[in-house]
């Protein structure tokens, strides 16, 4: 089943809004980002780290198992893991089809850690000519990061173009 919101939020990789706080965190070099490492931990933490104004998570054990199986199989699921002093403190995950990254969830155990992950994801996607990140749900947080709302008809056109490109079935390497 596919839930398709109208409008649909998308983030173009070259349009990430880098706030002063995020810029400072990136310049200080206190975080290290890695691609496709600790996938299971990232998904688990996305489903279990409490969020303000949200009760529970839609990431249940069945979802976790399905995504873990996909990650170890066709390599269409990916994550960006963020570490501080060697400890996982933030990240995000999603899947790719064609030139589209479908963002599933993100988490942060330290301020700016998930935004650092998104910054590294956008840099990687931009270098590899990805069209967009499908953010799926409109939230004030995702809009503050530079996502825009597009009408379903425009989203479906973007999606057709993005899915027409070859799929990337390989592990991502660190930037």
Per-residue pLDDT of the chain (175 residues; tens, 9 = 90+): 567 889 999 999 999 999 999 999 999 999 999 999 999 999 999 988 866 666 656 666 777 677 777 677 766 889 999 999 999 999 999 999 999 999 999 999 999 999 999 999 999 999 999 999 999 999 999 999 999 999 999 999 999 999 998 876 667 776 6
C-alpha distances in Å from residue 161, one per residue of 85, 130, 158: 41, 11, 5
3-state secondary structure 71-133: HHCCCCEEEEEEEECCEEEEEEEEEEECCEEEEEEEEECCCCHHHHHHHHHHHHHHHCCCCEE
Q: Which two tokens stand for residue 52?
A: 């303000």
Task: Enter the DSSP assignment of 58.
Answer: S
**Structural domains of the chain in order of their starting residue, each with its CATH number:** 8-163 (3.40.630.70)
Which helix (H) or strand (E) covers residue 62, if one does?
Answer: helix 61-72
d(CA 24, CA 11): 22
> In 3-state terms, what secondary structure has residue 140?
helix
Residue 113, exposed/middle/buried by CB under 10 A (0-12, 13-18, 19+)? buried
């Amino acid at each position: 089943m596919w839930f398709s919101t109208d409008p649909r939020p998308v983030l173009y990789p070259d349009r990430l809004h880098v706030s002063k706080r995020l810029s400072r965190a990136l310049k200080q070099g206190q975080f290290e980002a890695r691609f496709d490492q600790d996938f299971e931990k990232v998904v688990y933490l996305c489903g279990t780290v409490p969020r303000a104004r949200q009760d529970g998570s839609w990431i249940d054990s069945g979802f976790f198992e399905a995504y873990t199986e996909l990650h170890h199989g066709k390599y269409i699921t990916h994550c960006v893991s963020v570490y501080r002093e060697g400890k996982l403190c933030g990240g995000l995950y999603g899947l790719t089809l064609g030139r589209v990254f479908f963002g599933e969830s993100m988490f942060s155990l330290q301020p700016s850690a998930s935004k650092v992950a998104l910054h590294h994801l956008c840099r990687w996607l931009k270098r590899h000519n990805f069209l967009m990140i499908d953010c799926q749900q409109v939230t004030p947080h995702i809009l503050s990061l530079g996502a825009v709302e597009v009408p379903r008809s425009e989203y479906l056109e973007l999606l057709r173009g993005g899915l027409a490109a070859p799929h990337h079935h390989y592990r991502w390497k660190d930037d």
